[in-house]
Structure 1
Amino acid sequence: MTFIRTPLLAALLGACTLAAQAQATAKPDGQWRSSLGLGASLSSGNSKTSNFALSGDAVKLSAQDKVSLYGNAQYARSGGITTGEQMRAGGRYDYNLNPELFGFGGLDFTRNKFANLSLRSQLSAGLGWHLIKSPATTWDVFGGLGYTSDKYKDAMLIDGSSRTSYSYMGLLLGEESSHKLSETTSAKQKLVVVPNLKNRGEFRATWDASLAVSMSKAMSLNVGVALAHNSDPGPGRKTTDSLLTTGVSVKFD
Structure 2
Amino acid sequence: MSRLALTTVICFAASISTPAAATLPAPVKAMIDAAIASGNEQDVLAIVKIAKATNPDDLAEIDTLMADYNVKQAKKAEAAILKKQEAGLFENWEGQGELGGFRSTGNTNNMGITGSVKLVKDAVKWRMNFKARADYERNKGITTRDQLNATIEPNYKFDKRLYAYGLAQFERDRLQGFSARYTLSGGLGYELVKTGDIRLAIKAGPAIRITDFAEGDTKSSLAALVGVDFDWKISDHLKFSQDAGGTYASDAQGFTSAVAVFDSDNTTFTATSALDAKLIGSLSTRLSYTIEHETNPKVGRAKTDTLSRASLVYDF
The answer to whether the aligner puts 1:128 opposite 2:192 as a matched pair is no
Distance in 2 (CA, whole Å) between partners of 1:233 and 1:166 is 18
CA positional deviation for 1:241: 2.9
Bigger shift: residues 145-154 or 50-59 = 50-59
The answer to whether the aligner puts 1:61 opposite 2:114 as a matched pair is no
Sort the Cα spacing of 1:238 and 1:151 in 2 relative to 1 into closer, same or farther, 3 A.
farther
Unaligned runs of 5+ in 1: 1-26, 42-48, 156-163
Distance in 2 (CA, whole Å) between partners of 1:90 and 1:68 is 8
Distance in 2 (CA, whole Å) between partners of 1:174 and 1:93 is 15
Which residue of structure 2 aligns with residue 221 of structure 1?
285
Identity of aligned residues (%): 22
Sort the Cα spacing of 1:70 and 1:224 in 2 relative to 1 into closer, same or farther, 3 A.
same
Unaligned runs of 5+ in 2: 1-79, 85-91, 103-109, 253-262
Which residue of structure 1 aligns with residue 309 of structure 2?
245
CA positional deviation for 1:230: 4.1
Which residue of structure 2 aligns with residue 87 of structure 1?
148
Q: Bigger radius of gyration, 1 or 2?
A: 2
RMSD of aligned Cα (Å): 2.5
Deviation sequence 1:159-204 (CA, Å, 0-9, x none): xxxxx22110111122212111100111222211111145853544
- Number of residues paired by the alignment? 211
Task: Report the residue type matching 2:248 in the other structure.
Answer: P
CA positional deviation for 1:207: 1.8
Alignment of 1:183-202 (within 5 A): 183-197=236-250, 200-201=263-264, 202=266
Distance in 2 (CA, whole Å) between partners of 1:109 and 1:32 is 22
SS at 2:235 equivalent = coil
Structure in which a larger fraction of residues adopt helix: 2
TM-score, reference length from structure 2: 0.61
Which residue of structure 2 aligns with residue 104 of structure 1?
165
Bigger shift: residues 56-65 or 198-207 = 198-207
Which residue of structure 2 aligns with residue 168 of structure 1?
221
TM-score, reference length from structure 1: 0.75
Task: Report the residue type matching 1:128 in the other structure.
Answer: G
Structure 1 runs of 4+ with >6 Å offset: none
SS at 1:181 equivalent = strand
- The structure whose RCO (Cα within 8 Å, separation 6+) is larger is 1
